Structure formats: structure tokens, C-alpha cells
Structure 1
């Protein structure tokens, strides 16, 4: 059986000819082609496409001109597809499937089959169960996906990382979150101090001056010159605490506190999680502090991306569950 290719195939190596050809083709025309050939009827195709029959006939005429083939011919009382048309059905279906995928990926995210990598930048000042539970939840619903947890460090510019697509989401706490990013508050936490069970303040309590003069441990600033929320609040009142230890590894601080006179001041939820497994005591902070607010931040570039929306929803659900 002899097969006939569309007349432009011979000129495919000529960019000008190819461009002129594709300028005459649109997705609607491909849809008409596929529907007419599968229905074997212009009238049924028009009904299925929501077109009137003259418009469908005009589209078929254009297709015949483009292909140089009749595409649909009469055989007795029926219409049948030509050999050229039969070769075009599956490619047309493929084009329509690709177009559907192209324009639905912003609306729909198939977690069960996605192999995407989620990049999350987060501080470890949150509830120590948060990130483990978040990763577990992601892997349960998206078993083929990958997860990369990035640290919020002084070397990392999270604004640039979000803008450049290096991370999808930033999770942390800010006294005043940046106003150039999209923001969703996750939860608020009371500020308390954590000390060893043998710390003098456990029995005697402490005044403001005693608390300020105590030996404090604090995380390393997230960027040069940065001050944490506690120190920002103190500075606004003309006060400063005695920080004698700074650690880039927040997860190691509780063990330091448990066996020294160090004082860690942070959110109650974090303290409650870790105090149960170490000789630690939670004490109220003698200086009134605003709640410690945690947020997730993202860039406009991922505002409507389906995978990013799905990830933000997983973060919210994980926080709510904890």
C-alpha cells in the first residue's frame, strides 16, 4: 500500500516553508481533524465539538488544503478515512494529549506518579517533629517524589533562591516577615526559656537583670549582621542579653543546656518536645515577648504552580496535625 505524506514534508528542511505551514495550523484545527476522523462524520463531529456544520465543513476544507488529501471520502452510504488520514489519527491524539498536559499542569498535580524534587529551606527552630512529619507525609502521598531540605544559613540568600527557583518554599520565623514575598502564617508560639534542671533559677526564679546577665546560648545569625527575634525585641527596649555561645546547629543546643548553666530562649512548643527527654526545665521569660510567629514564604513565580500549591497545603496540614 502506498502512503502519502503531507505536501510540506519535502520542505521540512526549509525553515521559511515550515514556519509558513505551521502558521496556518492551530490547536482547534488539530482537534477538528481528530474528531472528524474518529467520528467519520462532519455532522457528528460538529455536534461533539459544539460547532455548526458549515464551520466544521470549512475546517475540513482547510485541512484538505493543508494535507493535499481528501481525508474523508464516501464509500457507499458511509464516510471512511483515507490512508493518509488513518496515519494522522494517533499523531493528532498525541498533540491533543500534550496540549492538555501543558495547560493542566498548573491546575492539577498527580502526587501518586510525580517524580518532582521539592526544595524546602527551613530553620530547625520549629517543633523538632515538624520536618520529619512533613517529609513522611510527602513520601506517603507522593512516593516517587524527592525532597531536599536546605538550611537557612548566613551563606544562603533565601530571597534569591526563591526568585531563581532553587527552592520552592521557605519556612521560618520572623518578627516582620519580608513584604516582597507571598506569606502564609503557620502558627504562633509563646516565648519561654529552657534551662538545666540544676540551674539556680529553677528554685529561686530570676529578675529581669538576672535573666539578662545569665549565660545565654543562641543560634547563629541567618545572615551577617542579623539579629534574632529575641534580640530585636530586647534592642527595641534598650536591653541586651549576655550571649556566650552561638551555634549553627540548633539541634545540639538542648544537650548543651542540659549540662551547663546556659539559657536557651525560644518557642514553648520546641522546648516541650525536647524537655521530656533531657534534664531540662521550662521557665517563663521575665521580659514580655511577643509570640514567635512562623510563616511559609514563596515567590510569585510559584504562586499558581500545582506542585507548589500542593506542597504548601502539605505544610499547613502537617502543622495542624502537630
Structure 2
């Protein structure tokens, strides 16, 4: 790589890093707002420069070669350094930025909260792109933040992971959502009736962090009667009409669906602590102007919802 015509520019390096993450020319093109031929041309150029295939076809996916895996750390260091240089020398203008912001978010928060974020993005940063990534037990969000594949993760685990910056985002009361004609919707709900009722229970979105509902019940040595387990929170409201099922969720989520479906929002007899959401980000983006704007935009949406947290100071 000593010849002048074998030099690489930052765009080609970003293509390589994204290919390593996405393992797909098509997804890389979408993520970087490039055409597929442009990504393919960059990959051909990269193969010529490094004298290696870098990514090879395996079934319907592309897998990295041993050489690319060796380059991964250096590639990340180079791009991180370039990002820090640009952050220090170029002012950030949300009105003109073409950045892609990636936010990891549980689907029960995205229903209302991320709709507000989308409105802010279209108003303040119309040229930017927003990618909302679901959280699941097989997704390593800490690694995604460390590698720059994600800007912010929104969570509400009782014990947030260490090593990341944290700032409270919003607090919300936990309530019960059920069919409007449910027998338990007609009178104050007792704890015994609540625990005995058949519940819709979502799968945990992290294999290492227990959900706040089951975590609190376990601390009280109680358990709910889980009858239906679902992969997405947004499925639950549609299962409630005409059934005796109960769904425990945050009030802003419950109120949203009670306006759309024949459902009732009932106070929960278990004294759950507020459902506290926070945003997490990696130290590598702590001072980046674009990511600071994104975090401020997320906090602004929470304030507009009227459920801002009681402790606004971020963890250092």
C-alpha cells in the first residue's frame, strides 16, 4: 500500500466498517445513503488495496475473512480518530446535517416517544436519517455502542450497565391495561385478583437484565400468572379486547392504546416503582456535537410528554 494510487479515503473506510457490521452490500448502501453500485465499487477497490477478498459470500450473507478481522481494531481506531478531529473543527448544524442517527429502543417506548422524536427530526434536521433499532436478548447493544454502530440506547433496566454514560430521560407510572368490559375493570383492583388474572408477558429484551415488573415482583416474593408470552409489546393491546387478559405497562403506552381500542386503564395494586427510562451512550461519542444534539433532542421530547425524570443529572 505504498503507491499513491493505492491510497484510501475516509468514505471507503466507512464503507468497509459498515460492510463488516451489516454483512450486506444492500444494507450498507441504505445505511450510508449510497447506491449499491457505489458500495460494490468501493469493495472492489478495498480488495485491490489490501490484496484480500475481505468479505466472501456464504449462503445469503457475507462473512469477513481472517484478514478483515485482523484489520477491525485498527479500522475502528482510525475512524474514531477522524470523527474526533472533525468534531473539534466543524460546527454541527442540524438543519443541514445528513448524518444517520441510530437509536436502540424498546418497542413499548417507540410507540409514542419515538413518534415525537421523528417529528423533531423532520422539523430540526430534515436532511438527517433516523434508524430505530429494536432491542432483544440476542442483540449486544453495549458492543454496538462501543463500535459506533449505535449512537444511543434507551432502556429501563433496574441495574444499568457500567462503563457507559447515563442520563435519565423520563419517568412513568406502571398501570394495568385490559378490555373495557373486563370484570376487574369495574372496581378497585386487589393484589390477589391482579396476580391471579391471566397476564400477557413480553419476552425480556436483554438476556442479562431482568424487566422492572418481574424484578420488583421477585423482590416481594410474588409472581404473576403469565399465560401468553409475546415478542413485541405492541402486540399486547390487540390481544386484550374480548378476553380476560391483563397487561402491565407504562401509563403513556396504556393511554395511547386506550384511545384507539376498547380498553380500560386501571391503577395497579402492586406498589411498583416508576418505570424510569434513561439514555445510554459510549464515552467515544460523549463530546461529539452531533450526538450531543441527538441526546438533547431526546430529552426535549421527554419534557414535551410531561413525564420528565426527577433526577436530571447524567452519570459521569
Partner residue in 2 for 1:63: none
2:197 is the counterpart of 1:217: no
In the aligned structure 1, how far is the partner of 2:296 from the partner of 2:159? 23
Q: Is the CA contact (8 Å cut-off) linking 1:219 and 1:247 kept in structure 2?
A: yes
CA deviation map 1:119-139 (0-9, x unaligned) = 111012227221122022113
Which of 260, 263, 270 matches 1:277?
260
The answer to whether the aligner puts 1:257 opposite 2:240 as a matched pair is yes
Match in the other structure for 2:279 = 296
Equivalent residue for 2:109, pick from 114, 126, 135? 126
**Aligned residues of 1:127 and 1:269 also touching (Cα < 8 A):** no
Task: Report the counterpart of residue 128 of structure 2 in structure 1.
Answer: 145
Matches within 5 A, 1:38-117: 102=85, 104-105=87-88, 108-117=91-100
Q: Aligned-pair distance for 1:204?
A: 4.1
Deviations 1:29-80 (A, max 9, x none): xxxxxxxxxxxxxxxxxxxxxxxxxxxxxxxxxxxxxxxxxxxxxxxxxxxx
Structure 1 equivalent of residue 219 of structure 2: 236
Residue aligning to 1:227: 210
Q: 1:149, CA displacement in angstroms?
A: 0.8
Tell me which residue corresponds to 1:287: 270
Secondary structure, in 3 states, of the residue corresponding to 2:240?
helix
| Equivalent residue, structure 2, for 1:69 | none
- Of 311-320 and 134-143, the range deviating more from structure 2: 134-143
Q: Which runs of 5+ in 1 are unaligned?
A: 1-11, 15-98
2:289 equivalent to 1:314: no
2:155 to 166, 172, 195: 172
Task: Give distance in 1, aligned partners of 2:3 and 2:143.
Answer: 42
- Mapped to 1, the partners of 2:132 and 2:110 lie a distance apart of 15
Q: 1:285 to 1:13 in 2, by over 3 A?
A: closer
Confirm or deny: 8 A CA contact 1:107 1:306 kept in the other structure: no
CA contact (8 A) 1:186 1:319 kept: yes
Deviation at 1:108, TM superposition (A): 2.6
| Number of residue pairs matched by the alignment | 226
TM-score normalised by the chain length of structure 1: 0.65
In the superposition, relative to structure 1, how do residues 270 and 13 fare at CA in structure 2: closer, same or farther (>3 Å)? Answer: closer
For the Cα contact (< 8 Å) 2:177–2:254, is it kept in 1?
yes
Partner of 1:157: 140
Contact 1:186 1:294 in 2 (8 A): yes
**Residues 106 and 180 of structure 1: CA distance in aligned 2, closer, same or farther (over 3 Å):** farther
> Structure 2 length as normaliser, TM-score?
0.67
Aligned counterpart for 1:186 among listed residues 169, 174, 199: 169
Q: Partners in 2 of 1:307 and 1:237 — Cα distance? A: 43
Q: Is the Cα contact below 8 Å between 1:218 and 1:264 reproduced in 2?
A: yes
| Deviation for aligned residue 1:203 | 2.0
* Kept after mapping to 2: 8 A contact 1:120/1:150: yes
With over 3 angstroms needed to count, the CA separation of the structure-2 counterparts of 1:126 and 1:167, relative to structure 1, is same
What is the RMSD of the two structures over their aligned residues, measured on CA atoms? 2.3
